[in-house]
């Protein structure tokens, strides 16, 4: 008999309602990592899996934890630890999609940077699934507002990044509060030594699974251009003009460089925003909203500032400065070429940086060519963004919903619905993307009309 590979979800014993839900989400076939991990993980066994964001890893650990959940029991049964708030939010969103067909399952997000009071309130009402960052979860344990005594599944998501961020001790003290009988699923993009240590300490005879890199390579093109240090800004412009990515993150070593690079691009009619640790939370949120709403195509960031950005389907990643170590390189380029999409990772190498290319090649067990930037010799520039982000001075606290904004824009001979893009409502402000051609009209329409029976300030970002 020939062995067949399981490719659809129906052979896993998930139950008809979940299968129907997956079909309605468009999950027809399993991704590589799902096909490799789900059969084992659904048996309740520990797994250590090498998987990048975009591989379908969230569903890979969520389906097993959901399969074990008892909705009638209102205690925390599953805990997902993530390095950042952005990732935790993204994970919770995906889990909510996976339980669309079930009522009565509660998820609580516990992350820092947000007030702890409402989190305690949510926990008091009973939650089945906890998703959060180690620091804040430890705070709750200290306050005894969270009990992990009935956790049956523990997930460590992006474990390598959590360790890079210095969370080992917090993770250890959290795990000690969970029962030994739990299933532990560890996901990591890379396997440095400390991941082995973590696994050795907290997993029982884990099955080690990594998706074959061949699959990833076909999706991700890695290119290296040689330039001179003094010519780097111009070289970046040449790259952007030549490849014209729909959007891209440009990585730099330092905050100063992010400012210098974004200023240079803006001076040369390529709208770009800098994302660095100096930004206040509100400014950071606004930068990310503009990038997500496609009113700015280029984000210039440091590694630290870009950590945990949950930006899906990035068409390109550009290394303005190459990172110091090959692990960071792999992290950075992991943001492009996700879930079957084509990705492009372009790096600029200044004359003395060839040795870095060698260590990147060794790490990935392959060789890369370097092309002189002059070979591109391209004079075209990036197209300007199609959208502008407008900021309205009212948000969730004023009970504003996306429909109210859409209504205010399109009502009374207003602008066409098709000219309105993404609408994001935060606590105190709302952001709407409109096509650049109708921006002035949209501001007029919003300022003249009323939202929730009141007038609010509107400005273009
Ligand atoms: P993740 O790696 O978990 O961030 O997932 C990347 C994207 O792929 C998410 O938007 C998922 O909703 C989607 N996804 C996950 N599994 C599947 C699947 N089997 N088929 C289609 N899309 C999927």
- CA 30–ligand 1 middle distance (angstroms): 9
- CA 56–ligand 1 middle distance (angstroms): 4
- CA 53–ligand 1 middle distance (angstroms): 9
Which of residues 113 and 124 earns the better pLDDT score?
A: 124
Residues 257, 339: one domain? yes
% residues pLDDT > 70 (the chain): 94
Ligand 1, atom nearest to 94 Cα: 12
C-alpha to C-alpha distance for 408 and 430, rounded to whole angstroms: 13
Residues 369, 229: one domain? yes
Ligand 1, atom nearest to 27 Cα: 20
Cα dihedral angle (434, 438, 443, 445), rounded to 10 degrees?
A: -110
User: How many domains, the chain?
Assistant: 3
Residues 118, 173: one domain? yes
- CA 70–ligand 1 middle distance (angstroms): 25
What is the pLDDT, as a whole number, of residue 217? Answer: 45
User: For a substitution probing ligand 1, which of 10, 26, 31 has the most ligand atoms within 8 Å of its CB?
Assistant: 31
Answer yes or no: is 367 within a domain. yes
**CATH code for the domain of 120:** 3.40.50.300
Q: What is the tens place of the pLDDT at every residue in 341-350?
A: 788 999 999 9
At residue 136, does pLDDT exceed 80?
yes
Ligand 1, atom nearest to 30 Cα: 19
Measure the CA angle with vertex 339, ends 338 and 342; round to 5°.
55
Nearest CA to ligand 1 atom 6: 54
Confidence of residue 14 (pLDDT cuts 50, 70, 90): very high
Residues 52, 172: one domain? yes
Residues 224, 343: one domain? yes
- CA 24–ligand 1 middle distance (angstroms): 13
Ligand 1, atom nearest to 34 Cα: 19
Answer yes or no: is 156 within a domain. yes
Residues 67, 204: one domain? yes
Domain C-terminal end among 172, 190, 210:
210
Nearest to 282 by CA among 181, 73, 428: 428
Q: What is the mean pLDDT of residues 298-323?
A: 86
Ligand 1, atom nearest to 28 Cα: 20
Confidence of residue 365 (pLDDT cuts 50, 70, 90): low
Answer yes or no: is 4 within a domain. no
Answer yes or no: is 215 within a domain. no
Ligand 1, atom nearest to 53 Cα: 2
Answer yes or no: is 380 within a domain. no
- CA 338–ligand 1 middle distance (angstroms): 9
Tokens matching residue 133 = 């960052």
Nearest CA to ligand 1 atom 20: 27
Q: What is the tens place of the pLDDT at every residue in 242-262?
A: 999 989 999 999 999 999 999
- CA 95–ligand 1 middle distance (angstroms): 11
Confidence of residue 3 (pLDDT cuts 50, 70, 90): very low
User: For a substitution probing ligand 1, which of 26, 89, 339, 340 has the most ligand atoms within 8 Å of its CB?
Assistant: 339
Ligand 1, atom nearest to 90 Cα: 4
**CATH code for the domain of 416:** 3.30.70.330
Radius of gyration over every alpha carbon of the chain, rounded to an integer in angstroms: 23
Domain C-terminal end among 346, 375, 404:
375
Q: What is the tens place of the pLDDT at every residue in 23-46?
A: 999 898 898 899 999 999 999 999
Residues 240, 139: one domain? no
Cα dist from 415 to 20, 125, 269, 388, whole Å = 38, 44, 27, 14
What is the pLDDT, as a whole number, of residue 191? Answer: 82
Q: What is the tens place of the pLDDT at every residue in 280-299?
A: 888 999 999 999 999 999 99
Q: What is the tens place of the pLDDT at every residue in 59-89?
A: 999 999 999 999 999 899 999 999 988 899 9
Nearest to 330 by CA among 363, 354, 297, 299: 363
C-alpha to C-alpha distance for 348 and 83, rounded to whole angstroms: 28
- CA 443–ligand 1 middle distance (angstroms): 36
- CA 262–ligand 1 middle distance (angstroms): 32
Answer yes or no: is 381 within a domain. no
- Read off φ and ψ for residue 205, nearest 5 degrees: 40, 55
% residues pLDDT > 90 (the chain): 62
Q: What is the mean pLDDT of residues 147-169?
A: 94
Q: What is the mean pLDDT of residues 181-204?
A: 93
Range in 74-78, 133-137, 208-212, 253-257 the model is least confident about: 208-212
N residues, the chain:
461
What is the pLDDT, as a whole number, of residue 4? Answer: 37
What is the pLDDT, as a whole number, of residue 339? Answer: 64
Which of residues 193 and 91 earns the better pLDDT score?
A: 91
Residues 86, 138: one domain? yes
Q: What is the mean pLDDT of residues 436-459?
A: 86
Q: Which residue has the tokens 């002059």?
A: 374
Q: What is the mean pLDDT of residues 348-376?
A: 84
Give every CB contact of residue 453 below 8 A, 6+ residues apart in sequence: none
Nearest CA to ligand 1 atom 5: 56
Residues 391, 363: one domain? no
Residue 451 is given by DSSP the state B
Nearest CA to ligand 1 atom 13: 56
Residues 61, 202: one domain? yes
What is the pLDDT, as a whole number, of residue 1? Answer: 30
- Read off φ and ψ for residue 258, nearest 5 degrees: -60, -40
What is the pLDDT, as a whole number, of residue 86? Answer: 84
Q: What is the mean pLDDT of residues 431-451?
A: 89
Ligand 1, atom nearest to 338 Cα: 6
- CA 339–ligand 1 middle distance (angstroms): 6
Residues 325, 446: one domain? no
Residues 312, 357: one domain? yes
What is the pLDDT, as a whole number, of residue 6? Answer: 59
What is the pLDDT, as a whole number, of residue 28? Answer: 86
Residue 329 belongs to domain spanning = 220-375
Q: What is the mean pLDDT of residues 220-231?
A: 92
**Burial of 224 per CB tally in 10 Å (0-12, 13-18, 19+):** buried
C-alpha to C-alpha distance for 316 and 304, rounded to whole angstroms: 19
Answer yes or no: is 382 within a domain. no
User: Cβ(186)–Cβ(195) under 8 Å?
Assistant: yes
Cα dist from 309 to 123, 324, 356, whole Å = 26, 21, 25
At residue 266, does pLDDT exceed 90?
yes
Nearest CA to ligand 1 atom 11: 56
**Burial of 412 per CB tally in 10 Å (0-12, 13-18, 19+):** exposed
At residue 47, does pLDDT exceed 60?
yes
What is the pLDDT, as a whole number, of residue 229? Answer: 92
Q: What is the mean pLDDT of residues 235-242?
A: 94
What is the pLDDT, as a whole number, of residue 223? Answer: 93
- CA 165–ligand 1 middle distance (angstroms): 26
Domain C-terminal end among 168, 183, 210:
210
Answer yes or no: is 168 within a domain. yes
DSSP string spanning 63-92? HHHHHT--TTS-S--EEEE-SSHHHHHHHH
Q: Which residues line ligand 1 (CB under 6 A)?
A: 26-27, 30-31, 34, 53-59, 94, 338-339
pTM score over 0.75? no
What is the pLDDT, as a whole number, of residue 212? Answer: 58
């Amino acid at each position: 008999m020939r062995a067949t590979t399981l490719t659809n979800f129906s052979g896993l014993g998930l139950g008809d309602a979940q299968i129907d839900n997956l079909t309605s989400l468009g999950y027809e076939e399993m991704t590589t990592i799902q096909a490799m991990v789900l059969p084992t993980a659904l048996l309740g066994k520990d797994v250590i899996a090498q998987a990048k964001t975009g591989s379908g890893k969230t569903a890979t650990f969520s389906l097993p934890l959901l399969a074990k959940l008892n909705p009638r029991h209102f205690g925390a049964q599953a805990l997902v630890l993530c390095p950042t708030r952005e990732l935790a939010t993204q994970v919770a969103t995906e889990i909510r999609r996976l339980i669309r067909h079930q009522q009565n399952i509660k998820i609580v997000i516990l992350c820092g940077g947000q007030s702890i009071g409402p989190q305690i309130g949510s926990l008091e009402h009973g939650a089945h699934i906890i998703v959060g960052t180690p620091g804040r979860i430890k705070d709750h344990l200290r306050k005894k507002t969270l009990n992990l005594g009935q956790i049956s599944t523990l997930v460590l998501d992006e474990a390598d990044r959590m360790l890079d961020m210095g969370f080992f001790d917090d993770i250890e003290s959290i795990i000690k509060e969970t029962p030994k009988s739990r299933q532990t699923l560890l996901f990591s993009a890379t396997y440095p030594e400390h991941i082995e240590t973590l696994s050795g300490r907290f997993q029982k005879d884990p099955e080690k699974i990594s998706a074959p890199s061949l699959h990833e390579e076909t999706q991700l093109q890695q290119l290296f251009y040689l330039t001179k240090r003094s010519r780097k800004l111009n070289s970046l412009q040449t790259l952007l003009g030549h490849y014209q990515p729909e959007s891209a993150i440009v990585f730099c070593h330092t905050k100063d460089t992010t400012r210098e690079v974004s200023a240079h691009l803006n001076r040369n009619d390529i709208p770009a925003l800098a994302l660095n640790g100096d930004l206040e939370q509100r400014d950071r949120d606004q930068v990310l909203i503009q990038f997500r709403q496609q009113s700015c195509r280029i984000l210039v960031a440091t590694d630290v500032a870009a950590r945990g950005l949950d930006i899906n389907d990035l068409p390109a990643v550009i290394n303005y400065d190459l990172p110091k170590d090959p692990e960071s390189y792999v992290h950075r380029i992991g943001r492009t070429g996700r879930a079957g999409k084509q990705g492009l990772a372009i790096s600029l190498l200044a004359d003395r940086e060839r040795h870095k290319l060698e260590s990147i090649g060794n790490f990935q067990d392959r060789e890369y060519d370097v092309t002189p930037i002059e070979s591109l010799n391209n004079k075209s520039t990036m197209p300007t963004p199609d959208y502008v982000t407008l900021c309205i001075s009212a948000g969730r606290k004023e009970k504003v919903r996306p429909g109210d904004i859409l209504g205010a824009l399109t009502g009374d001979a207003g602008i066409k619905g098709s000219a309105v893009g993404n609408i994001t409502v935060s606590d105190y402000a709302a952001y709407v993307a409109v096509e650049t051609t109708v921006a002035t009209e949209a501001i007029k329409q919003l300022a003249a009309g009323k939202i929730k029976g009141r007038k609010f300030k509107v400005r273009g970002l």
